[in-house]
Amino acid sequence: MTSFSFDRDNSLYKNRDALLEEYTPNNLVGRDDELEEYHAALQPIINGEAPSNIFLYGKSGVGKTAATRFLLNQLQEDAARYDDITLSVVEINCDGLNSSYQVAVRLVNTLRDPADQISNTGYPQAQVYSFLWDELDELNGTIIIVLDEVDHINDNSILYQIPRARSNGYLEHAKIGLIGISNDLSFRDSLSAKVRSSLCEKEVSFPPYDATELQKVLSQREQVAFHENALAEDVIPLCAAYGAQDAGDARQALDLLLEAGDLARKDAAEQVVDHHVQEARRKLERDRIMEGVADLTQHARLILYALTSLEAEDNSPARSRDIRPRYEQLCNHIGTEALTSRRMRDHLADLAMLGVISSTEKNEGMSGGKYREHALKQDLHLVVSALEETIELAGVHESIRPYYQSLLDERED
């Protein structure tokens, strides 16, 4: 019988935790231009002047939060050298806080003693703001409020109130600088002109990382996380190239390196090599598709199911008018009404964004006009497995029976 005893294995990793999300690197590499601009926007604070409100934007994993923590830590350290500066930083993530009211409550509770918290309901909004001004004024000095994922707040009230609190006479002692962070690139444009002009006084845009920048980020982590020579020479360049090609997201590139390291460890390999990276990439892509499909609405999944069944019959690429009858048939099975053709096309576009299907525009010139053709971009087995629940609900279509069966067989093994 195989032995399942555990022996410590430190052969590849020196400190695996350094590749996890929670780890904060000492230094930020590959973001010199952005840090320089951000630094300049924070400079008034150390000069004892009124702080600017700053808005940071850029896609996921491009270092917005990391740069904020890095510079604010530095700023706090340096501010301590000046007797006339009292600097406090309050950072909250607005994920899960949908309204200005909830954000204000969270801010009050972050600033208050644990024994003196307020509840999430029960006070008029004006009262909660008044609590907030009291807490801020008591702190005194310069206060930086960081609202990460600021686009999650559905109304703009707090983004309007905080920058104006002093000029409106609500604050006597405290000088507030608001830092808003968002990865929703349309958020800024959706703000009213009044809010935009105060929140976005200074803006710093964070572009996706290119391969050279990702190499720097990954090499820096390699030093901390892996033993010398634990990685073959091409591992970092390969992870960086994939990362840049995908989304320029440092989080994704670090995840790829971690997964490759874990696969090498599972193989008891002496080094992490090329094929570990390739395999890790396939695994992460698979996980991403499985999660992405699980998060889709039921109609999006039915549309994907319809296209999957056409693909299994070798009837793809297919136009949306060819997918529609199969989709309607599936809707019929579960007793729901099909969405309009227009909504269906929107869902096809979302599926293409997720990377589970590919949609190609065709142009038949004057006679035929433009249309799109859709096909699965991922392996049929993988999509059938991601759609398992929907298939159970809507019934197993004849065309996908062999794929569905092999999924069940695999499970039994």
Ligand X SMILES: Nc1ncnc2c1ncn2[C@@H]1O[C@H](COP(=O)(O)OP(=O)(O)OP(=O)(O)O)[C@@H](O)[C@H]1O
Site residues for ligand X per CB under 6 A: 21, 25, 28-31, 58, 60-66, 183, 217, 220, 250-251, 254
Q: Tell the smallest beta-carbon distance from residue 35 to ligand X (Å).
A: 9
Tell me if 202 is assigned to a ligand binding site: no
Q: Tell the smallest beta-carbon distance from residue 36 to ligand X (Å).
A: 13
Q: Tell the smallest beta-carbon distance from residue 123 to ligand X (Å).
A: 30
CB nearer ligand X, residue 64 or residue 299 = 64
CB nearer ligand X, residue 78 or residue 95 = 95
Tell me if 101 is assigned to a ligand binding site: no
Q: Which residue is nearest to ligand X (CB)?
A: 63
CB nearer ligand X, residue 217 or residue 354 = 217
Tell me if 394 is assigned to a ligand binding site: no
CB nearer ligand X, residue 163 or residue 248 = 248
CB nearer ligand X, residue 143 or residue 254 = 254
Q: Tell the smallest beta-carbon distance from residue 250 to ligand X (Å).
A: 4
Of 108, 187, 176, which is closest to residue 154 (Cα–Cα)?
A: 187
Tell me if 209 is assigned to a ligand binding site: yes
Q: Tell the smallest beta-carbon distance from residue 142 to ligand X (Å).
A: 23
Tell me if 288 is assigned to a ligand binding site: no
Q: Which residues are annotated as a binding site?
A: 62-66, 209, 221
Task: Output the known binding site for ATP.
Answer: 62-66, 209, 221
